[in-house]
Homo-oligomer: A and B are copies of this chain.
């Protein structure tokens, strides 16, 4: 009696073993939302419609096929695919089989693509037919047991290759396998590797599900939203949208390979998209197209957009506001599933002057529930005063605690178990995080830091400037000095003096770039971010076109 009395309350009497697994999301959509539409635009620009009922049935069939071919719990299945319903089938079917979905970034240079396939030990690869040329380039360096071709283009699969449709036709949908652990691996995604080799992050069912709760809460996603994830499904699980939308039973609009502004706007109008998600470079083209032809597209009046993957300039938020489109900035990394913060203004900010509120919205934002953040400098944790600058660290249930199969942790985790983001940030008293820079992109001049992000944001506020990037050039006297790369708007002009005057009004003199280089375009990484590594490497011999597309 005493023992039982003491034990009471120590362990609850709830169904705490009910697992937070992706299979539960899949079963939910199957039961409650079988008729809800999933739209995919193909390589030929036609939009094909299916529904969650069919997607889940086919996902279960894929799980069957994997299991009967001897794919075991924890084995990796790679996908080299665009955003379309077939990829969604893999998102649901692979983890349901117990295997791990390894999404392959189709924009990786061949050597990195081969590396991640081999390092991830992918047993199977599912590949869109239109992406076969990319796989061909690494075919002799990789060793998957099977390559299954998804006829995304609608054409028959070339003879000699295994067809996804034929594979599905030979199997029946798998029944749910009960009793699996929520901590099992579910997804694998490699960092884009701006420093060193790409590193694998192994998401668990639990982390995917909890992240999807946080995403839905943070963005107020609703079942009645029509959501277009432009962010690629090969990029950090498309920020978790596919899973969150399956959970909500919301319509998905998957844009396939045509990602230029006009193609996206056409699709958004056609499907009356209420929520879109993507990186700033995409939305820059979109805001320009909308400003140029304000009456061309009849978009949903409810349209909201989340933008992440790189800093969103305040000017872009203001421009979208003028078009009555609400922009929410988000921030996170591959290692953090990705969402850490969202810049949704709080009720208290309604009373702020416009300028102050816009400045807040141009920050990375408030941590979502269950994400803890802190900033640390050389002498420990720093105050949330909006001015102290330190490296941003985070912890929470959807943040990695190590890389996959990497003995060298490269110092990414602190001794007390926080993840070091590699970003330098301030946190203001309201809890809004502002990313000052990547640690490695800071310019260190005369022993003091210069924020490249702050200078870039100021430059793009100039009416003639389309894009800007600041990088450090080694300097014998100061250590490093900033150089500005500037892309002008079509037909626009700006002199070095104009740009310098713009910055001189807002920054100390020693922050001002030593040189302004007007270029046709900035090099981009495989995830669409400006590749500062390329700019630094190529300083003095910049090419006009992105090197790795």
Contacts and interface: CB of A to CB of B under 8 A. Distances in A.
Interface of A: 4-16, 18, 20, 24-25, 27-28, 31-33, 35-36, 72-76, 99-100, 121, 181-186, 188, 201-207, 210, 213, 216-217, 220-224, 247-251, 337, 344, 346-348, 350, 366-367, 369-370, 372, 384, 395-405, 417, 419, 430-431
21 contacts: A7-B74, A8-B185, A9-B74, A9-B75, A9-B184, A10-B73, A12-B184, A13-B402, A14-B206, A14-B207, A14-B337, A15-B395, A15-B417, A18-B370, A18-B395, A24-B372, A25-B369, A28-B367, A31-B384, A31-B431, A250-B347
Contacts of A405: 4, 8
Nearest to A431: B32
* Copies of this subunit: 2
Given A8-B404, A184-B9, A370-B24, A14 B398 contact: yes
A307 B273 CA distance: 31
Contacts of A15: 207, 395-401, 417, 419
A401 B398 CA distance: 27
A207 B11 CA distance: 12
A341 to B, nearest CB: 11
Contacts of A201: 13
Contact of A369 (B206, B247, B397): B247
Q: Which of A221, A350, A370 has the most CB of B within 10 A?
A: A370
A203 B400 contact: no
Contact of A224 (B73, B74, B347, B400): B347
A417 B367 CA distance: 37
A121 to B, nearest CB: 7
Contacts of A347: 36, 223-224, 250-251
A207 B12 contact: yes
Contacts of A27: 372
Contacts of A399: 14-15, 18
A16 B207 contact: yes
A405 to B, nearest CB: 6
B9 A367 contact: no
Nearest to A183: B16
A248 to B, nearest CB: 8
A188 B11 CA distance: 12
A344 to B, nearest CB: 7
A186 to B, nearest CB: 7
Given A397-B18, A404-B8, A431-B31, A346 B13 contact: no
Contacts of A223: 344, 346-347
Nearest 3 pairs of A and B residues by beta carbon:
A9-B74, A12-B204, A9-B185
A372 to B, nearest CB: 8
Contacts of A344: 223
Nearest to A75: B9
A27 B182 CA distance: 26
A367 B15 CA distance: 17
Contacts of A395: 15, 18
A217 to B, nearest CB: 5
B16 A397 contact: yes
Contacts of A24: 370, 372
B401 A11 contact: no
Contacts of A73: 9-10
Contacts of A247: 369
A512 B427 CA distance: 67
Contacts of A417: 15
A229 B170 CA distance: 54
Contacts of A184: 9-12
A404 B32 CA distance: 33
Contacts of A401: 13-16
Given A9-B74, A9-B76, A216-B217, 5 more contacts: A10-B74, A10-B184, A12-B202, A18-B396, A20-B397
Nearest to A28: B369
Contact of A249 (B10, B16, B337, B346): B346
A172 B76 CA distance: 52
Nearest to A212: B369
Given A217-B213, A401-B15, A202 B9 contact: yes
Contacts of A224: 346-347, 350
Nearest to A11: B183
Contacts of A397: 14-16, 18, 20
A253 to B, nearest CB: 13
A395 to B, nearest CB: 6
A425 to B, nearest CB: 15
A13 B404 contact: yes
A6 B74 contact: yes
A312 to B, nearest CB: 20
A84 to B, nearest CB: 22
A32 B366 contact: yes
A7 B75 CA distance: 9
Nearest to A371: B28
